[in-house]
Amino acid sequence: MKLIQIVVYIIFFMLLFSCNKLWPPEEPPVTTTVNELSDFQMIISDTGSVIFKNNDDLLLKNKDVKEIILISKDGEIFEDLKIIEPTYAKVGNKYKLEFEITTPVEPEVYIKHYILKFNMVDDSYIDINKTAILYKYPYENAEIFMLPEEMVLLGGGGYIQDFDIVENYLYYHPYGPMGLYRYNLSMRTAPDTLRRYEAGDHIAVAANYVFIDYAHSRIERYNTDSDSIDLIFDLSQISWADCDYYCSNLGIYGLAANNDIVYALVNNYDADDLSVIMFDYEGTFLNETPYPEFYGYNLEYYNGILFSYYYDLEDQVYTIKRFDLNSNSFLETKLSPTPSPDGISIVNGRFYYADYYRKIICSIPMADLMD
C-alpha cells in the first residue's frame, strides 16, 4: 500500500513540475492596430480587376494576423470573395505582413465596396472598408455626368453610340435602328425624337445643325430651327467615292463639326485606308487628308486636334488617338478613360464620353489629354 502511495506522490509531483510541458505557453497579446493594417494598396488594373496588396512598410510587432478575408459589400448583402493565409518576412525586430488578393469586377460596375477582414490569432478581428471608384481609373479627375438610371430613359437600353452636348441639350444616337434624339438636361423629361433612321452611328452638332451619319455612307444635315432635314451632302465630290443615293465604297467612322467645318473620318473600302474629309456647313467639299491608321471610331475636334478612339490589338485595350491637323500627324497616344468607350463630346474644356457597359456618361478635363 505504501508503495502505491509513493508511486502516486511521484506521479503528482512530476505532473506539478512539468505542467508547462502539458499546456502550451500563452500566446503574446495581440498588439496590431487598425492604423498598422491600413498600410496596404488598392490597385485598379486595366484588366478589369481590383488588387489588394501590402505596402513594404506594413510591419507588425508580432505575427498577429492568421487569415485575411476579402468581402464584397452591396448594400446589406455581404459576400466572401477570397480567403487567404498571409505570410511574414522578418525585418529587424518586426514582421512584414505580406499578402496580395486579386478580384475581378463585372464590366458594368463603376463603384464597388469592399471589406478587408483581418482575423487575429486570438479570434478577434479588424475590418477595414475600401471603395474602388472604378470610373476614376485611369483619370482621377473623372466625374460622372449622367447615371444609369437616367441613361435608360434615353432609349436603346441606356446605350449611346454618339452624342453632343449643346447648352442644356443632349443630342444623341442610341444603339440600334433608332435615329436622332434630343434630351433636355434641365427638364429631365422624355426625349424628343428628331429624326428616325435605320442605320448609322455618328452625329456632330454645331450652330443650329446636327450632322448625321446615315447608314455610314451618307451625311445629312438636320436643321433644329425648321425641325427637318434640309441638306444631304454630295459625297461624290470626293474623287474616289462611288456614290449614288449611298456611297458603296465609303464608310463613315466619325463626325465632328467646329468653326464652320464638318470633319468626317471615312474608310475608303477600295484602298482599305482612312482619311479625314472636310466640308463646310453647306456641304461644299474643302479638303481630304490621309489618316495614317487602320482604325478609328468616333471623332471630336479641339484646338486643331481630332480625337478618336483606337483599339490596340496587341494590348487589347482602347486608346485615344490625337491627330494634329496642322502637321497631319499623330501626337502621343493617350489612355482611354473607359474600357468600353462610345461617343465623344468636348464642351467647356471637358472631354465627355459614354461608357457602354457601365451605362454612364463621364467627363475629364481636357488638360488631362493635352501635352
pLDDT score for 48: 82
Has residue 3 got a pLDDT over 70?
no
**What mean pLDDT is predicted for residues 286-296?**
93
Which has more pLDDT, 314 or 281? 281
Please report, for the domain that includes residue 60, its CATH number: 2.60.40.10
Domain boundary among 102, 135, 168: 135
CA distance 308 to 26: 65
Q: Which three cell numbers stand for residue 325?
A: 491637323
What per-residue confidence (pLDDT) applies to 175? 85
**Mean pLDDT confidence for 340-347:** 95
Burial (CB < 10 A; 0-12, 13-18, 19+), residue 5, is: exposed
**CATH code for the domain in which residue 216 is found:** 2.120.10.30
What region, left, alpha or beta, does residue 197 occupy, with left being phi > 0 and alpha being psi -120 to 50 degrees? beta
Assigned domain for 4 exists: no
> What pLDDT shows up at residue 366?
98
Q: Which residue has the higher pLDDT, 233 or 27?
A: 233
- Domain check: are 92 and 200 in the same one? no
| Domain extent for 89 | 34-135
- Cα separation, 4 vs 23, whole angstroms: 27
Q: Are residues 228 and 311 in the same domain?
A: yes
> Does any domain span residue 312?
yes
315 pLDDT above the threshold of 60: yes
Tell me the pLDDT of the chain averaged across its residues: 91
Strand 65-74: give its sheet, edge to edge: 77-84, 65-74, 111-120, 125-133
Banded model confidence at residue 7, pLDDT cuts 50, 70, 90? very low
- Domain membership of residue 26 (yes or no) is no
Q: What average pLDDT does this structure show over 254-280? A: 95
Measure the CA–CA gap between 50 and 31, rounded to whole angstroms.
29
Residue 120 lies in a domain: yes
- Alpha carbon 108 to its chain's center: 9
Cell numbers given for 115: 471589406
Mean per-residue pLDDT, 40-64? 93
Q: Does the pLDDT of residue 18 top 70, yes or no?
A: no
Which of 93, 110, 135 delimits the end of a domain? 135
Please give the average per-residue pLDDT across 310-316, as a whole number.
Answer: 88
Q: Within this chain, do residues 177 and 72 fall inside the same structural domain, yes or no?
A: no
Q: How confident is the model at residue 59 (pLDDT cuts 50, 70, 90)?
A: very high
Q: How many domains does the chain have?
A: 2
Tell me the average pLDDT across 127-143.
Answer: 96
The pLDDT confidence band at residue 26, using thresholds 50, 70 and 90, is low
| Phi, psi of 150, rounded to the nearest 5 degrees | -90, -35
pLDDT score, position 24? 54
Same domain, 119 and 155: no
- Examine the pLDDT at 11 and tell me if it is beyond 60: no
The pTM (predicted TM-score) of the whole model is 0.86
| Structure confidence at residue 371 (pLDDT) | 79
C-alpha cell at 270: 477600295
In the predicted model, is pLDDT for residue 14 greater than 80? Answer: no
Are 179 and 310 contained in the same domain? yes
* Domain co-membership, 116 together with 234: no
Domain co-membership, 249 together with 298: yes
pLDDT of 137 reads 94
Same domain? 40 vs 167 = no
Interacting residues of 135 by C-beta distance below 8 A, sequence separation 6+: 110, 111, 142, 144, 338, 355, 358, 360, 362
Residue 193 binned pLDDT confidence (cut-offs 50, 70, 90): very high
Asked whether the bond before 28 is cis by omega within 30 degrees of 0, the reply is no
For 357-368, write each residue's pLDDT tens digit. 999 999 999 999
User: Which residue among 108, 135, 162 closes a domain?
Assistant: 135
